[in-house]
Amino acid sequence: MPPRVRFAPSPTGYLHVGGARTALFNWLYARRHGGTFILRIEDTDVERSSADMISGILSSMTWLGLTWDEGPGVGGPHAPYFQTERLDKYRAAAARLVESGAAYYCYCRPEDLAAKRAAAEAAGSAWMYDRTCVVLSPEEVAAREGAREPRAVRFFVPAGGTTFTDLVRGHIAFAREHIEDFVILRSDGYPTYHLSVVVDDVEMEITQVVRGDDHISNTPKQVLLYEAMGATIPDFAHVPLILGPDKKRLSKRHGATSVGEYETQDYLPEAMINFLALLGWSPGGNQEVFSREELVERFTLDGISGGNAVFNSEKLDWFNQQHIMRLPADDILRRLTPAITAAGLWRDSFFTTDADWIGKVIELLKPRARKLGDIVPALAPFVADIVVYDEAAVTKHLKVAGVAAHLSAWLQVVEGLPSLEPAATEAALRVLAAARGIKPGVLIHATRVAVVGQSVSPGLFEVLDLVGRDRVAERLRAYAS
Ligand code: GLU
């Protein structure tokens, strides 16, 4: 049976990196085994959930390429995939549990429970629900139901012990005596998390529950619910937390934590995926840069480590550069089309007659780009008719005694060359410098500033070749005497 896994975010915030990593692990597992990846929105906390957060989560998942096979927008055999649209199922499940004796109605008023808890705490002891309502006779229950008294449904935690096996943590045993009879359906008819998550995971035939470590303490209660429902218990894999560089739980203090912020900051989704995959999972070996397909091929749940992972944004920057380097020029061009257009640098010929040329320009600029968008302004000297000059660079390298005369001689050489093939152009520059008794650097710096407008650029002779002889000559002329 191919696996069925799910990502089940509560839309009380945007998709943060921890959630994205959980989604990624589920997605990789499903793709690796030809399984199904389900997206389920756990929006029963109506007050803290919002439509905005839901669309933010969906859009971040889409940006990361974590496509879901069942869920919002795509539907599926277990629709709807929003928990607020599934309330009937939770109420029916709670009723069945009451019927089978696994759960019972609790009419205790919240204020009475609070008072009992406060009294116990004042006496220095922890309080667990005292089962006041477990002893109500069927007649009394019928009467109170008839009177429509507000009531919750509590799960009756049987005595004994239970164990489950976590694929990351191993064998986990827990004694039930520390688990109180927990509420599964509140008096307002809304399920608690334990009920809704189990009802849905059972109905959606989830085979592996891969989720954050913060849910490990919830698992015993959920195992009890599976047992009471007579359902097959899925495998669990609790993924360790993501920490900041100071080894504290990753939070806003450490910088951007939502996936949307990384999208805005122009990181490549490929880099983000690669980076997140290696936070707490290791394929073994030394390879660090992986394409999405390679990750799918290599992913296993037992590669998830038990130790917490540290979020290092410099490492993310490194992955970003590595993935920029791996992108073919035409792909970069397609991704940057809107930005290049907005910068007024777009030419339709980029995809036709100039495709080769612009491809070479992009290849030349790629290694210097920390973010993909860095390529856009760097295209200007190649594409725009007018160069924007950095005044400091002009003062330093062009407005220097003698430079205009040197450039004038260099201009003549350039005009006489058949093309600006890099090696030949460099040789010609060095010959001229020697003949004029100056260091080649004087001509190199002056030429760079005259042609590019800046004192830094990729290798000058490659730049000159791609800018083209006529334009180079024109720009040299402007500073020659
Ligand atoms: N809705 C839960 C959360 O966002 C996840 C529940 C689960 O994965 O079991 O934390």
List pLDDT tens digits, range 193-206.
Answer: 999 999 999 999 99
For 76-105, the pLDDT digits (tens) are: 999 999 999 999 999 999 999 999 999 999
Ligand 1 centroid to residue 171 C-alpha, Å: 22
| Percentage of the chain exceeding pLDDT 90 | 96
| Residue 40 near residue 19 (C-beta atoms within 8 A) | no
Q: Which two tokens stand for residue 83?
A: 């928990």
Of 248, 252, 399, 439, the active-site residue reads: 252
Count CA within 13 A, CB hemisphere, residue 187.
10
Instruction: Find the mean pLDDT for residues 449-475.
Output: 97
Residue with CA nearest ligand 1 atom 6? 8
pLDDT over 90 at 363, yes or no: yes
Q: What's residue 153's pLDDT? A: 98
Residue with tokens 């935690």: 157
pLDDT at 307 over 90: no
In 3D space, the residue among 467, 260, 451 whose CA is nearest the CA of residue 382 turns out to be: 467
**CB of 201 closer than 6 A to ligand 1?**
no
The one-letter amino acid code at 158 reads P
Contacts of 208 (CB under 8 A, 6+ apart): 3, 5, 29, 167, 234, 235, 236, 237, 301
Backbone angles phi, psi at 111, to 5 degrees: -70, -35
Give the strand order in the sheet containing 152-155. Answer: 103-106, 152-155, 183-185
**Banded model confidence at residue 298, pLDDT cuts 50, 70, 90:** very high
Stretch 333-362: mean pLDDT, rounded? Answer: 98
Q: What ligand 1 atom has the least distance to the C-alpha of 6?
A: 8
Q: Is the pLDDT of residue 63 over 90?
A: yes
Mean pLDDT of 308-325: 96
Over residues 29-55, the mean pLDDT reads: 97
Prediction pTM value: 0.93
Give the burial class of 88: count Cβ atoms within 10 A of its Cβ; 0-12 exposed, 13-18 middle, 19 or more buried: exposed
- Supply angle C-alpha 266, 267, 273, rounded to 5: 150
3-state SS of the chain is CCCEEEECCCCCCCCEHHHHHHHHHHHHHHHHCCCEEEECECCCCCCCCCHHHHHHHHHHHHHHCCCCCEECCCECCCCCCEHHHCHHHHHHHHHHHHHCCCEEEECCCHHHHHHHHHHHHHCCCCCCCCCHHHHCCHHHHHHHHHCCCCCEEEECCCCCEEEEEECCCEEEEEEHHHCCCCEEECCCCCECHHHHHHHHHHHCCCCEEEEEHHHHHHHHHHHHHHHHHCCCCCEEEEECCEECCCCCECCHHHCCCEHHHHHHCCCCHHHHHHHHHCCCECCCCCCCCCCHHHHHHHCCHHHECCCCEECCHHHHHHHHHHHHHHCCHHHHHHHHHHHHHHCCCCCHHHHCCCHHHHHHHHHHHHHHCCCHHHHHHHHHHHHCCCCCCCHHHHHHHCCCCCHHHHHHHHHHHHHHCCCCCHHHHHHHHHHHHHHHCCCHHHHHHHHHHHHHCCCCCCCHHHHHHHHCHHHHHHHHHCCCC
Give me the mean pLDDT over the 459-464 stretch: 98
Q: Which domains does the chain have, with CATH numbers?
A: 1-71+240-326 (3.40.50.620), 87-239 (3.40.50.620), 328-377 (no CATH), 391-477 (1.10.10.350)
Find all residues with CB under 8 Å of 252, minimum gap 6, and list them.
none
Q: How close is the Cα of 135 to the center of ligand 1, in Å?
A: 33
* Alpha carbon of residue 160 to chain centroid: 41
Determine if ligand 1 sits within 6 Å of the CB of residue 168: no
Pair of tokens at residue 154 = 């509590």
pLDDT interval class at 162 (50, 70, 90): confident
Mean pLDDT of the chain: 97
Check residue 31 and give its pLDDT. 98
Ligand 1 in reach of 234 Cβ (< 6 A): no
Q: CA-to-CA distance for 330 and 353, rounded, in angstroms? A: 13
**Spacing, Cα 8 to ligand 1 middle (Å):** 5
Residue pLDDT, tens place only, 224-236: 999 999 999 999 9
Q: What pLDDT, on the 0 to 100 scale, is given for residue 306?
A: 84
Q: What is the 3-state secondary structure (H, E, C) of 411-469?
A: HHHHHHCCCCCHHHHHHHHHHHHHHHCCCHHHHHHHHHHHHHCCCCCCCHHHHHHHHCH
Mutate to test the pocket of ligand 1, among 193, 196, 235, 238 (most ligand atoms within 8 A of CB): 193
Whether 210 and 237 have beta carbons less than 8 Å apart is answered as yes
Annotated catalytic residue 89: no
Ligand 1 atom closest to the Cα of residue 19 is: 4
Backbone angles phi and psi of 152, in degrees to 5: -100, 170
Centre of ligand 1 to C-alpha 177, Å, is: 25
pLDDT digits (tens, 9 = 90+) for 424-461: 999 999 999 999 999 999 999 999 999 999 999 999 99
Give residues with Cβ within 8 angstroms of 178, minimum separation 6.
128
Cα 139 versus chain centre, distance:
55
Helix axes 17-32, 51-64, angle to 10 degrees: 50
Q: Are 218 and 228 in contact (CB under 8 A)?
A: no
Q: Measured in angstroms, how far is the CA atom of residue 7 from the centroid of ligand 1?
A: 8
Q: What pLDDT is recorded for position 292? A: 98
- pLDDT tens digit sequence for 372-397: 999 999 999 999 999 999 999 999 99
**Ligand 1 contacts CB of residue 40 (under 6 A):** no
Of 159-163, 209-213, 222-226, 312-316, where does mean pLDDT reach its minimum?
159-163
- Band (pLDDT 50/70/90 cuts) for residue 75 is very high
Q: What percent of the chain has pLDDT over 70?
A: 100
